[in-house]
Structure 1
Amino acid sequence: MAMLQQIIDRRLSGKNKSIGNRERFLRRYRGQIRDAVRKAVSGRGIRDLERSEDITLPRRDVSEPVFGHGPGGNREYVHPGNQEYLKGDRIARPPGGGSGKGKGSGEAGDSGEGDDDFVFTLTREEFMQVFFEDLALPHLVRTQLAEVPEWKSHRAGFKSDGNPSSLHVVRSMRGALARRIALGGEGRIALHRLEAELLRLELEPGADEPPASERIAALKAEIAEVRRTAKHVPYIDPIDLRFRNRVRVPVPSAKAVMFCLMDVSGSMDESRKDMSKRFFMLLYLFLTRHYEKIELVFIRHHTQAQEVSEEEFFRATETGGTVVSSALVLMEEIVRARYP
């Protein structure tokens, strides 16, 4: 009988073997996670969009169905640690209600037990994915927001292969010298020892007679062999070559200033303010892909315009009419004064 086998390829999962379970969990509780991300976005600043977030789900939302005994019937339970009662004993009801579910007159204590909410951390990529899904952006726009158009080449040490034009001569010669010193160290020690012994025998009387003459001839042969072996060590070897290593790193192009203008008259309710905040976050995220430093200027207006902080820009409530030109005039004045 043939057996059905299922092979799961986890080579792309890296060390995180539970990534499949995590993805299923995110799909299952997509609605609760989306609501939690909305609340997180409303409490964040524009500059704090790209970071992870701790998501809290109520215990009732992640509860699993379980099988249990229905009410009624005769059942026997085994309770550990019982040293007072025997089978068939009748246990009296606790006086004063106690901690049961009856209508007691006791007060709830401050050290009772309960179920904690389920808390887990959304990574930066997961948070941004839910944020984009909530905005209902096309996939092409998401790709454009994630790209970095400009690259710059930076030096990153040396490598053992490369183009001849990137050869570092000094570093290569230094490596070759170190290799020759390391390989020829033992030979030089032996050569010095043999030469010292040869000089000592030549200065002794009777050096021309055997056995001194035979020993001198043997020493000369060994010295010649050691010198011949030392010449076989190449002056420079391919393993000595070092080339300049350069890597491409993303570099934003320049500085920019982002003006956030919003009407705070009575017609702007909380839903419209939340929509405008999401738009400003999306615009700031786009600018961070193209500029190194971004300065934010917040201008709110009704009949009159004024520059405020980010907290006042989204939280403060005012009433009045709507005169958009006042905000445009103030923005032009700020541009001329600060950014000529």
Structure 2
Amino acid sequence: MLCRVADSLYWIFRYIERAENLVRFLEVGWSVSLDNPSGNPSQWTSLIDACADRGLFEKLHPTASPTDVITFITRQPENPNAISNCIAIARENARQIRDTLPTDLFEELNALHLLLQDDPLFWQQRLPEQLQQIRRSCQTLYGLQNSTMQRDQSWLFANLGCLIERADKTARMLDVKYFLLLPSPEDVGGPLDELQWIALLRSLSGYQMFRRKQSLEITPARVAGFVLLNRQFPRSVSYCIEEIISTVDRIERSTANPVQADLRQALEALRITWTTMPIEDLINTGLHQGIDHLQSQLNAVHGQLQQTYFTTSPCA
């Protein structure tokens, strides 16, 4: 496989995953705003912090209203990470390697792109309906990926992009709730606090799975442990990291080239921290700092993947 094709596949599904997770971010914000209608604007602008786009947002929207936040995340043309732009980039990558993708998958992605770019009626709907439609389209794309793509290098690189993005955004969503959403320390442990934790779990499609695992009261440590370290929940950080390592191993076997030492070292550092450390240790050493470190580790893995596989020469 040419590495430009591998690179395109990686980014197609990374951007689809990014778009879906931005939908999930907004669902948390929307749910919290309904539970706390008199809340302050920081409950919305915290979502911008989670997206790491505060500087651009403040330049475009000095007043920072909830509507500004929603527009910025969903369809701001100047925001390269807006949902509409993520899907546009994914679609452009797909167009360049259209022969590599199943027809149904490309057509679904193209239809979502056209909906977000060219359908004014779509943007006149209420926010929950918009988010639900985008999320269902993204999930349809994952279904088509898993049901129609041959399990060769194409599928492996597509899966790799999805997993790295998912691990990053799952951790960011937890970070938003843990440090940014609660309006005051007095609310910790109160009804609003619990409603926000439930909203976080629902936004990850994990509330029922959490309840199967935990029948006791919802606490920050239990939710954080589930979201970060549960090795059976497919949106948890730990599960994603195990799958990233497994996918790289399969790519290595399919190319007959050993994984470079720097990439293997970066993967092993991820595994040690995020599949073996108890949640109590992560909290005691600083969960926010731990999540920042995770994002640095994922960036290091991405950089090593770029060096190893996404060059101008053939991958195999």
TM-score range, shorter chain: under 0.3
TM-score by length of structure 2 reads: 0.20
More strand by share: 1
TM-score normalised by length of structure 1 = 0.19
